[in-house]
Amino acid sequence: MATYRVRNPKGDVVDTKDIESADDAHAWFVEEVPGNELGWRMEVKVEEDRWDFVDDSEGDRSY
């Protein structure tokens, strides 16, 4: 189980939740964002004081 949080476009934490799978976390995130508004982001807790941005690029990165 991992801990996820949602941040609004201003950077405020809107909600935090422990979720079993990444698919369930994505579904929860979609429910939290009003009307597909841009600028929202989801982060996952990786250490006590560290959160990482959850990438939605589906692995398609160009460097």
Q: CA 62 → CA 32, 36, 53, 54, 57, distances in Å?
A: 29, 25, 18, 17, 10
Q: What is the pLDDT of residue 36?
A: 78
Q: What is the pLDDT of residue 5?
A: 96
List the chain pLDDT tens, one digit each, 63 residues.
999 999 999 999 999 999 999 899 999 999 989 887 899 999 999 998 999 988 755 555 554
Predicted structure pTM score: 0.80
- In the chain, domain spans: 2-53
Distance from C-alpha of 52 to C-alpha of 54, rounded to nearest angstrom: 6
Q: What is the pLDDT of residue 57?
A: 55
3-class secondary structure, 30: helix
